[in-house]
Chains A and B, each alone.
Chain A
Amino acid sequence: MKINVKIMPKSGVLDPQGKAIENSLKQLGFNKTGTVRQGKLIEINLQEKEGKAIKIVDEMCQKLLVNLIIEDYEIIANKEE
């Protein structure tokens, strides 16, 4: 089963990379661009059924993948795999 973990900077945490992207987009003429935030996506293959897999990935997030001081995460199970 393939699980995706979407990690984003918490709102209120400075995201200089997102800000830089936002400025570049505006410079390119995308005038209606609002706030841009940059996060990351981690794809994990696990030989487990969905419920168990989500539980394990949640533990992975808490232990290593996410810094809860500055980041929020969302676990997305890929139904087609």
Chain B
Amino acid sequence: MKAAIIVFPGSNCDRDIAVSLKKISEIEPLMIWHKETSIPDCDVIVVPGGFSFGDYLRCGSMAANSPIMLDVIHKAKKGMPTIGICNGFQILTETGLLPGTLIKNDCLSFLCKTVSIKVENSNTKFSNLYSKSEVIDIPIAHNEGNFFADYDTLNKIKDNDQIVFKYCNNSGKIEKEFNPNGSIENIAGIINKDGNVLGMMPHPERATCQLSQLNDGERFFNSIAESIL
């Protein structure tokens, strides 16, 4: 199994993703520079976190127009499992592969901490080893993680069961006070209607090693491996 990890100028979670994919799920990572025009044969695409193009203009807006993204969009539309984490989530919304967008945190500060998130949908390629309503601890690190969608888009997302993760407290309570960034309905991660493109602000790759004392991200990577076997 192989994963294509797209690397932009300013990506900084690409290596963490590569290590997690290799160590946890035995998926061979291929680092693909954004100026490439085609993605080699692979089973999953990952758009990693970071500050692509210095977050200029809008987070993810320039990266969404990098040459490689044409092939990412093409493959994702054909059903390729595709994941965007943090800046990768912002990039995927800018391409239109995922609905909504991510705006500045309502607290106006960069947030870097571990948060509890609730698995709202465990019936996806990326969350199938979690139980529904399970609470997991995953770090966040972002300035623009405030998910926003207009009323109609949000209703569609809800009707299609596209919300995968929501911010909550450690007992799974979803309230405004446990929402770190002002995201609409505490949304931390969503999937597209077809179920093959996932975007999430929390970093599962930062919850897969003993040093971080967090391991809830491991099942994220194992879910992917099992679903693409």
Our count of residue pairs bridging A and B at CB distance below 8 angstroms stands at 35
Task: State whether A69 touches B149 (Cβ < 8 A).
Answer: yes
Residues of chain A within 8 A of B153, CB atoms compared: 69
Residues of chain A within 8 A of B100, CB atoms compared: 69
Task: State whether A13 touches B105 (Cβ < 8 A).
Answer: no
CA distance A17 to B57 in the complex (A): 15
Task: State whether A69 touches B65 (Cβ < 8 A).
Answer: no
Q: Name B96's closest neighbour in chain A (CB-CB).
A: A69
- Given A64-B65, A69-B150, A70-B103, is A14 in contact with B182 using a C-beta cutoff of 8 Å? yes
> Whole-angstrom distance from the CB of B91 to the nearest CB of chain A?
12
> Whole-angstrom distance from the CB of A61 to the nearest CB of chain B?
12
Query: Which 6 A/B pairs are nearest by Cβ-Cβ distance?
Result: A69-B101, A16-B108, A16-B106, A16-B104, A70-B101, A67-B58
CA distance A67 to B60 in the complex (A): 11
Instruction: Count B interface residues, CB 8 Å.
Output: 20
Known A-B contacts: A64-B61, A64-B62, A69-B150. Give 6 more (CB < 8 A). Answer: A13-B103, A14-B106, A16-B106, A67-B94, A69-B148, A69-B153
CA distance A17 to B146 in the complex (A): 13
Most chain A Cβ neighbours within 10 Å, of B57, B65, B153: B57
Task: State whether B108 touches A67 (Cβ < 8 A).
Answer: no
Task: State whether A67 touches B106 (Cβ < 8 A).
Answer: no
Residues of chain B within 8 A of A13, CB atoms compared: 103, 148
Chain B interface (Cβ within 8 Å of chain A)?
A: 57-58, 61-62, 65, 94, 100-101, 103-108, 146, 148-150, 153, 182
CA distance A11 to B139 in the complex (A): 32
Instruction: Count A interface residues, CB 8 Å.
Output: 11
CA distance A65 to B182 in the complex (A): 24
Secondary structure class of chain A's binding surface, majority of residues = helix
30 A–B pairs (Cβ distance < 8 Å), ordered by A: A13-B103, A13-B148, A14-B103, A14-B146, A14-B148, A14-B182, A16-B104, A16-B105, A16-B107, A16-B182, A17-B104, A17-B108, A20-B108, A63-B65, A64-B57, A64-B61, A64-B62, A64-B65, A65-B57, A67-B58, A67-B94, A67-B101, A69-B100, A69-B101, A69-B148, A69-B149, A69-B153, A70-B101, A70-B103, A70-B148
Q: Name A10's closest neighbour in chain B (CB-CB).
A: B150
CA distance A48 to B168 in the complex (A): 53
> Whole-angstrom distance from the CB of B22 to the nearest CB of chain A?
35
CA distance A63 to B61 in the complex (A): 10
Residues of chain B within 8 A of A20, CB atoms compared: 108
> Whole-angstrom distance from the CB of A66 to the nearest CB of chain B?
9
CA distance A67 to B94 in the complex (A): 8
CA distance A70 to B94 in the complex (A): 12
Q: Which of A14, A17, A67 contacts B61 (CB 8 A)?
A: A67
Residues of chain B within 8 A of A67, CB atoms compared: 58, 61, 94, 101
